[in-house]
Structure 1
């Protein structure tokens, strides 16, 4: 029993010594940090400015290897098209804040989704069909095929040497209104139906 009491007293003393050591070490570290700050202030060094500069050194910036991902969302067809490009020289070196100012001034319709040194993602909504669509219609009384330009306007793709006047009235009306198709294969299929 005596050994047990002696052992517990020794363990208790060692615990107090350990707690005292940890407390003293942390207190000494705080005093050391305060002394460093005081020394820097005496030498005219702004400690907060030094800390801010450390943060700035690790700030994300656009580099020549940064990928710019442009995401186009087309509301009329609910399609999304993504383009990936390299940055132009005028934006290399910009941080997120400067880049936000740049796009606000130069391309305000774009929304910044994410920003890092590796990849920047921006998106835009276009309120028309995407360029992957075709519209089959009429041009000079002939069946015509139009592609959709990036601005959403129809661009003549080709004229089929087939007169619209040879078609029945319902087909003529459909063509005058324009038949929108989602792919080149679908366009070919529709054209074959009008040719037969």
Structure 2
């Protein structure tokens, strides 16, 4: 019996809810209609910017940009890396400008990577790198040469008490041609073989 009394209350509540929803929707729709038409009008009034392009600012070299040079020495197959701050000649250049500048002024340098913080250049040199020593002869004496950055021999030391004339002819020829060594340890070993 209690269930029979609840059914009309339920339907009355449901009807009341639906009527209030419809009335609220109509009232709000009437208030929103002028706002919607105003927004649509504003959209029509605004200009069409679809044909405009966004300009992208070029990345340029600044005084804070680092220039990394990777120098490949073909004679010894070593790669020496040097990092320096950008010099005035490169400041304010973009990627295309530096490529053109390098082709014109430094044909042996090639651009590997480019960003506003670091530029990497590749350089190929057809001689030994600066990490080598050459054991050779100077004025008929055993001499030690260092290789400079241009691949030239620079006299570092002459062993006055060790003339090459007392060595075998094969060893003399090796010293005249020059024996390339990669480290100070290897230099010590080679000198020990000739001096002892």
Q: Which runs of 5+ in 2 are unaligned?
A: 1-39
Match of 1:174, SS? helix
Q: Which residue of 1 aligns with 2:133?
A: 134
User: What is the Cα-based RMSD across aligned positions, in Å?
Assistant: 2.2
Deviation, 1:181, is 0.6
Q: Which residue of 2 aligns with 1:104?
A: 103
Deviation, 1:36, is 3.2
Give the paired residue count: 154
1:78 is aligned to 2:90: no
Deviation, 1:180, is 0.8
Deviation, 1:90, is 2.7
Match of 1:152, SS? coil
Distance, in Å, in 2 between the alignment partners of 1:32 and 1:73 is 63
Q: Which residue of 2 aligns with 1:190?
A: 190
Q: Which runs of 5+ in 1 are unaligned?
A: 1-27, 39-45
Distance, in Å, in 1 between the alignment partners of 2:98 and 2:76 is 31
TM-score (norm 1): 0.72
TM-score (norm 2): 0.72
Distance, in Å, in 1 between the alignment partners of 2:181 and 2:45 is 70
| C-alpha spacing 1:35/1:178, structure 2 compared with 1 (3 Å) | same
Deviation, 1:70, is 0.3
Structure with more helix by fraction:
1
Given that 2:66 and 2:117 are in contact with CA atoms closer than 8 Å, whether structure 1 keeps it comes out as yes
Where in structure 2 are the equivalents of 1:55-70 lying within 5 Å? Answer: 55-56=56-57, 59-70=58-69
Deviation, 1:94, is 1.3
**Which protein shows a greater Rg?**
2
